[in-house]
Structure 1
Amino acid sequence: MAVKKQSFGKLSDGTEVFLYTIINEKGESVSVTEYGASVVAINIRDRERNLRDIALGCSCAADYEEQTACLGGVPGRHANRIGKGRFVLNGEEYSLAVNNGPNHLHGGPTGFHRRVWYGKVVDDDSVVFSRLSTDGEEGYPGNLMVSVKYTFTNKGRLVIRYKALADRDTVVNLTNHTYFNLNGHDSGSVNGQYLHIWADSFTENDSDCLPTGRVVSLDSEEGKAMDFREDRTIGEKIEEDNIHLKNGSGYDHNYILENRKDGLAARAYSKESGICMECYTTQPGVQFYTGNFLSTSNIRGKDGANYQDRDGFCLETQHFPNAMACPQFPSVVLKAGELYKEKTEYLFSVME
């Protein structure tokens, strides 16, 4: 194992950003950058033992600064949506930027995925990114010290550990927004790739993709198009006449992970490449998103790639969106002095 550090270029304000590549004994690697604590590349061996980069991304920091798809980033302080950019905490109402229709998304216009983190190699297989989010940043209360640790092992396991500590009660919901394509980042649509999600229900979205508080069973008639409890292709039902798919412009929904076994939340695989990815998490939900707006996200892709809608999919492990307005959802409140601690793992293997 080894970690290689190199310049990833400069941002518009002249700040130099670095890239860290963790390489295992099989020659597989994961590259992560200080800009947004973002995953830039995941090189995995396919059925023929050839390396394929299965993470959508850009070639330099400046391109990450321009794109609007949150490619590989760690959004926060609160990932996903908060209705109308408002929440009440300890009797006080907080107003956040509205940057996604009528709602607040991914921590605001300059959420964590648009900040430069401090990177540090901590072992021959791990990099930690950390930053201080100050009181009032993007409207959130309290100083929050946050870190994200990436570990990539010889067994092809990418482990992401999140920690945060605040000096005032605040809200925190961290995730990773990597877009995966198990045939390679520049190979086109993911509609033919297979997915299984260990969930019996999901949270209903309104027409602005904001959870209403209602939970929909996958056993219901309206839930059939959303059901991934048996392996099926991502694209099999994505064009069906279903209100939930219409509201998300495809899949962009929070699945409730009540049926995890040993933390297993989802599994995806490609018959073409043979690459299989299992997702394990301590979090109660996973946002399955099919990259429905990639073509309009101002992305200059790696290797000259021109990403189109549904060229990648995300499995964003998380607490539920809009939880502050839905008290029946798991809480996203982090009390002062309490440690926020979550973990997600992506295990890569080959199906022969």
Structure 2
Amino acid sequence: MAEPGFTPILLALPSLTPSLALEILPRGLVLHRLFVQADGRTHDILIGPEDPSGHLTQKYTNTIIGRYANRLPVGSFSINRNNIHAVVSPQANEKPTVSLHGGVKGFDQYVWEPLVDPSAAQLFTPAELATIQTRAPTSIIFQRISEDGEEGYPGRLLIEALVGLAPPEAPIQTGTSPGGKEWNLGSVIITYRAKLLDENKVTPINLTQHWGFNLDASLQGGAETLSVKGHKISIKADHTIELNAEALSTGSLLPVAGTHHAHAEKTTGRIGEAFPEHGYDEFYLFSARGAPVSPTVLPASDLKPELDLVGAALSRDGPSSEEVVSLASGKSGLRVGFATNQAGVQFYTNNFAVPEKGARKKIHGGSGAVGDGYTPGSAAFLEFHAPLAAWIHPQSRGPLGEDTLLASGEVYNNFVRLDVWYKGQGRV
């Protein structure tokens, strides 16, 4: 009998050329495929297994991560917000002293319920539902409840996640990329909301999408197109967070300038220039932005019918529109740019990939069978979230000052918008 939650849900933009389409798996809220059509070619820009059930073993590939992203020390920790006290006990899974991506059974291992009727959503306002219908009509809201004590996290937590596609604001738009015009192909919007259902509770929360990009893999050009070392990356960050030998945050900030993390300082801007021996797996704390972004936590009383934070996230000229990360390939002509209200991004180059244990999509030149997987350096994972263990390390919180705690009577709000661009020779 097939595992539940592995039947894909397809979202596709209306008949536009070029176009976007997204396959979502309810189990783990997996973005299984992200199809981009440009210049007569179809690309899938996300790595992963061919068979949806392959995500059972190829863990954390394009899944949601929660209740807390990345690594936390194992133990019992007292937390306090709004004079509400609790104890959180992250559970060991990566090693006896490290809890990774939510613990033994994180959010990636649960089946999320798609809401057939969007008005059943409890954490999106009527104004936001109207915006979704008009500006991102190819969308779906998923929901689940994380029970009190799940993986050592206190409080019964309602989570709702909007995943959708937004068309270009005009069928074709020109960008300002050096070296020529770009055509905007549309956007992917993800918005996470969460609220504690119990009174007098507090919990850490730090959600992200653990998605891995390769903009060339569908060209099927052998080892060269299966590596992202030729991609160019830009991250607007002044600091990374220092890690100890177990890749846990020490709370100290390290300057980016003058290091291999200063991608803007590189001669070529390519990921492969000054590539570290074991690849990238670092959290970059964004520089202070030119305008305030949407709040990551707000009083539940602020979630009034007229509030529209989704509209702000979709706006390409509003205060939340600043592009903080860009990933581009000259081979495919594709570029993805990201806007978010999160404090930083974890950049990971698939260093722990073991080809013999994984499978590779057929569109990427793989057989689809286990044993023919992706190699280290084959993807740029870009996971937007707050600083690692921010409730433990106040000094690492950066310009937004987030402690990543959520108390009763508050709503968590996290968005990322991915804009897809194509640079061609006057045609798309």
**TM-score, structure 1 normalization:** 0.87
Q: Which of 285, 288, 298 is residue 256 of structure 1 equivalent to?
A: 285
Partner Cα separation in structure 2 for residue 154 and residue 128 of structure 1: 18
Match of 1:237 among 268, 274, 279: 274
- The Cα of 1:233 is off from its aligned counterpart by 0.8
- Tell me the amino acid that sits aligned with residue 324 of structure 1: W
For residue 83 of structure 1, the aligned residue among 61, 73, 77 is 73
Task: Name the SS of the counterpart of 2:263 in structure 1.
Answer: coil
**8 A Cα contact 1:263 1:282, kept in partner:** no
Deviation at 1:201, TM superposition (A): 1.1
* Aligned counterparts, 1:206-217, within 5 A: 206-217=244-255
1:243-295 Cα shifts (integer Å, max 9, x gaps): xxxxxx32111111124454321001000000010011000111111111122
**Is contact 2:63-2:210 (8 Å) kept?**
yes
Query: Does residue 225 of structure 1 match 2:256?
Result: no
Instruction: Answer yes or no: is the 8 Å Cα contact 1:20–1:127 preserved in 2.
Output: no
Shift of 1:85: 4.9
**1:174 lines up with 2:207 in the alignment:** yes
> Is residue 165 from structure 1 mapped to residue 195 from structure 2 by the alignment?
yes
CA contact (8 A) 1:206 1:212 kept: yes
Of 118, 132, 135, which residue of structure 1 is paired with 2:145? 132
Shift of the 140–296 alpha-carbon distance from structure 1 to 2, 3 Å rule, reads farther
Deviations 1:59-116 (A, max 9, x none): 3342111222x01001100011112354321355432211223211110121001111
Confirm or deny: 8 A CA contact 1:198 1:257 kept in the other structure: yes
Is the CA contact 1:10–1:61 (under 8 Å) kept in the aligned structure 2? Answer: no
Deviation track 1:32-75 (CA, whole Å, cap 9, x = no partner) reads 110101111111124x331100101223342111222x010011
1:280 corresponds to which letter in structure 2? A
Looking at structure 1, the residues matched to 156 and 87 of structure 2 have their Cα atoms a distance apart, in angstroms, of 18
The 1:351/1:203 distance shift into structure 2, 3 A limit, reads: same
CA distance in 2, matches of 1:270, 1:205: 30
Aligned amino acid, residue 23 of structure 1: A
Q: 1:297 to 1:30 in 2, by over 3 A?
A: farther
- Aligned 1:1-352 pairs, distance under 5 A: 10-11=2-3, 15-24=4-13, 25-26=15-16, 27-46=19-38, 48-68=39-59, 70-90=60-80, 92-101=86-95, 102-120=97-115, 122=118, 124-155=137-168, 156-166=186-196, 167=198, 168-184=201-217, 187-219=225-257, 221=258, 224-230=259-265, 232-239=269-276, 249-260=278-289, 262-295=321-354, 298-303=357-362, 304=368, 306-328=373-395, 329=397, 330-352=402-424
Identity %: 29
CA contact (8 A) 1:83 1:210 kept: yes
Partners in 2 of 1:297 and 1:316 — Cα distance?
25
Q: CA deviation at 1:297?
A: 8.9
- The whole-number CA distance in structure 1 between the counterparts of 2:205 and 2:252 is 22
Cα–Cα, structure 1 residues 326 and 297, in superposed 2: closer, same or farther, change >3 Å? farther
Following TM superposition, by how much is the alpha carbon of 1:16 offset from its aligned partner in structure 2, in angstroms?
4.9
Asked if the contact 1:292–1:309 (Cα under 8 Å) also holds between the matched residues in 2, the reply is yes
- The structure with the largest alpha-carbon Rg is 2
The CA deviation string for residues 149-179 of structure 1, in whole angstroms up to 9 with x for no partner, is 1111222200100100012211110000110
Match of 2:295 in 1: none
Q: Which blocks of at least 5 consecutive residues in structure 1 are unaligned? A: 1-8, 241-248
Task: Supply the distance in 1 between the matched residues of 2:188 and 2:328 (Cα, whole angstroms).
Answer: 16
Contact 2:359-2:373 within 8 A present in 1 as well: yes
Q: Is the 8 A contact 1:67 1:297 kept in 2?
A: no
Query: Using the alignment, how far apart are the partners of 2:5 and 2:24 within structure 1?
Result: 15
Q: Secondary structure at the match of 1:182?
A: coil
Measure the CA separation in 1 of the matches of 2:263 and 2:356: 27
- 1:19 maps to a residue whose letter is P
Decide whether the 8 Å contact of 1:204 with 1:213 is kept in 2: yes
Relative to its length, the structure with more strand (as a share) is 1
User: CA shift at 1:19, angstroms?
Assistant: 1.4
Separation in structure 2 between the aligned mates of residue 294 and residue 228 of structure 1, nearest angstrom: 23
Q: CA deviation at 1:296?
A: 6.4
User: Take 2:57 and 2:23, find their aligned partners in 1: how far apart are those partners?
Assistant: 19
SS in 2 for 1:79: coil
Gaps of 5+ in 2: 119-132, 169-185, 291-320, 363-367
CA offset digits 1:177-219 (Å, max 9, x no partner): 1100011366411111000001111111112221111101122
Measure, in 2, the Cα distance between the counterparts of 1:49 and 1:87. 54
Q: How many residues align?
A: 328
